[in-house]
């Protein structure tokens, strides 16, 4: 890993988000020459710049939909981590043109600019929502995966790889900050469905796996992070027990459009093209990519018996959930809330939980 990033220039699109900031933090330990943070949010870039206060960081305000801006930003870049996306499910459903423009056309812009600038490798960060998608967000991320993998046929100078992850505990816009706010303001938690399970990993662990996949990849693979899952109702119960009182309620408000009971990281259509490698499943593409086939020609395949879903992976017990929440200070009463819900009033929070039916 040290040799991969040492004295190199790295571009992170969507770099001010939870993943981007932790990725920046970890890459800085490998002594890069420069990390370029490319994001649409001026304020978040200012906040991140002040937080890190590191001369190796360069902040660029820009949109992945602007090919000219992306191309200029990619000059002399060695590695790209593509995190920029419109990712909130209801937002994508209500703004389909924007979701398609940012998540699909934006990804294609980054791909083309990576090729034009002879970038060594582009890592597209994907999601379990891209597998058998039933909402627009998942569909756009599935398309982004296809665009990224197919780009390996256009050039031998740049390699392209995808990494699928699940939910990151406590990330911006996720359910833990929401539950904390609900408990503090409403003394209740709202669930869409008590049967729901979700893949879950700490942010630090997720980024370590992302960097590991970036180092190991040849180009053309989809790396799937192996991770445990949680039942959302267990999470709610633990947080209610630790941060609530005897009057705390857990209210079921119904599933929202485009929402699954369980999430999938390796679909039933992919289980015959899987290689197992430590903390990963590596999915090989249907496309014939010569350098990829050469690299894996003697590596045995592992045909999974069933799809890899949050239902059939290891489910964290309530005591394990409590341990993880405590480790990352999510059970501290005075912890600052997520910026997305920090300033909501009690009335706004009540309306929001019913209208959007938040869940991870």
Identify the residue with better confidence: 110 or 91.
110
Q: Give a yes or no: residue 73 inside a domain.
A: yes
Q: Is 348 a domain residue?
A: no
Structural domain boundaries enclosing 72: 2-166+202-227+264-296
Q: What is the pLDDT of residues 55-104, one digit of tens each?
A: 999 999 999 999 999 999 999 999 999 999 998 888 898 999 999 999 99
Measure the CA angle with vertex 94, ends 89 and 97; round to 5°. Answer: 100
The pLDDT value recorded for residue 358 is 43
Residue among 260, 238, 259 nearest 250 (CA): 238
Read off the pLDDT of each residue in 11-20 and give the average, rounded to a whole number.
96
pTM: 0.89
Does residue 211 fall inside a structural domain?
Answer: yes
Q: What is the three-class DSSP state of 254?
A: coil
φ/ψ (deg, to 5) at 182: -60, -40
Number of domains in the chain: 1
Let me know if residue 24 belongs to a domain: yes
CATH number at 279 reads 3.40.50.720
Percent of the residues in the chain that have a pLDDT greater than 90, as a whole number? 71
In the three-class reduction of DSSP (H, G, I as helix; E, B as strand; rest coil), residue 169 is classed as: coil
Token look-up 């008590």 returns: 194
Indicate whether 336 belongs to any domain: no
Residue 142 CB-half CA count within 13 A: 16
Q: Name the maximum alpha-carbon separation found in the chain.
A: 62
pLDDT tens per residue, range 292-347: 999 999 999 888 889 999 999 999 999 999 998 998 888 887 655 554 456 566 66
Q: 318-346: b or e for each residue (b if 16 or more CB lie within 10 Å)?
A: eeebbebbeeeebbeeeeebbeebeebee
Q: State the pLDDT at residue 172.
A: 66
Q: How many residues does the chain have?
A: 360
Asked whether residue 252 is domain-assigned, the answer is no
pLDDT digits (tens, 9 = 90+) for 178-217: 888 889 889 999 988 999 999 988 888 899 989 999 999 9
Burial class (CB in 10 A: 0-12, 13-18, 19+), 69: middle
How many whole angstroms separate alpha carbon 77 and alpha carbon 8?
8
Residue 360 has pLDDT above 50, yes or no: no
Q: pLDDT tens for residues 21-61?
A: 999 999 999 999 999 999 999 999 999 999 999 999 999 99
> Which residues have a Cβ under 8 Å from the Cβ of 219 and sit 6 or more positions away?
121, 152, 158, 159, 160, 161, 289, 291, 292
Show the tokens assigned to 283.
């999915």
As a whole number of angstroms, the distance between CA 94 and CA 283 comes to 32
Flag whether 56 is in a domain.
yes
Instruction: Indicate if the pLDDT at residue 353 is higher than 70.
Output: no
Of 258, 338, 289, 254, nearest in space to 87 by CA: 258
Given a contact cutoff of 8 angstroms between Cβ atoms, the answer to whether 212 and 273 are in contact is no
d(CA 58, CA 164): 27
**Residue 44 annotated among the catalytic residues of the structure:** no
Class of residue 204 by CB neighbours under 10 A (exposed 0-12, middle 13-18, buried 19+): middle
Residue 52 lies in a domain: yes
pLDDT given at position 284: 95
Catalytic residue of the set 8, 44, 121, 129: 129
Angle at which helix 203-216 crosses helix 18-28, to 10 degrees, equals 60
**CA atoms in the 13 A half-sphere facing the CB of 121:** 19
Distance, CA of 264 to chain centre: 14
């Amino acid at each position: 890993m040290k040799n991969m990033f040492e004295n190199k220039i790295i571009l992170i699109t969507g770099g001010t988000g939870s993943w981007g900031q932790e990725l920046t933090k970890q890459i800085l330990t490998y002594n890069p020459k420069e990390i370029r943070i490319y994001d649409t949010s001026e304020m978040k870039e200012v906040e991140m710049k002040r937080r890190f206060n590191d001369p190796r960081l360069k902040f660029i305000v820009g949109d992945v939909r602007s090919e000219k801006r992306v191309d200029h930003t990619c000059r002399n870049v060695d590695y790209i981590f593509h995190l920029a996306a419109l990712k909130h499910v209801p937002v994508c459903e209500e703004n389909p043109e924007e979701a398609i423009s940012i998540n699909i056309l934006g990804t294609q812009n980054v791909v083309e600019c990576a090729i034009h600038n002879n970038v060594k490798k582009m890592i597209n960060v994907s999601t379990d929502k891209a597998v058998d998608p039933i909402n627009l967000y998942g569909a756009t991320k599935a398309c982004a995966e296809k665009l990224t993998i197919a780009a390996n046929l256009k050039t031998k100078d740049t390699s392209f790889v995808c990494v699928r992850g699940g939910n990151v505990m406590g990330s911006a816009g996720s359910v833990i900050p929401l539950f904390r706010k609900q408990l503090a303001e409403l003394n209740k938690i709202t669930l869409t469905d008590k049967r729901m399970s979700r893949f879950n990993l700490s942010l630090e662990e997720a980024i370590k796996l992302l960097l590991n996949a970036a180092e190991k990849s040849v180009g053309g693979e989809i790396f799937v992070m192996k991770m445990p899952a949680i039942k959302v109702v267990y999470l709610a119960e633990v947080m209610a027990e630790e941060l609530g009182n005897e009057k705390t309620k857990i209210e079921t408000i119904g599933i929202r459009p485009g929402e699954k009971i369980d999430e999938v990281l390796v679909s039933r259509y992919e289980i015959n093209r899987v290689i197992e490698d430590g903390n990963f499943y590596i999915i090989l593409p249907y496309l014939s990519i010569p350098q990829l086939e050469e690299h894996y020609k003697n590596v045995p395949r592992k045909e999974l018996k069933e799809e890899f879903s949050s239902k059939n992976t290891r489910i964290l017990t309530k005591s394990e959930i409590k341990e993880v929440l405590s480790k990352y200070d999510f059970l501290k009463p005075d912890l600052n809330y997520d910026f997305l819900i920090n300033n909501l009033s009690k009335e706004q929070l009540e309306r929001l939980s019913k209208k959007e039916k938040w869940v991870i």
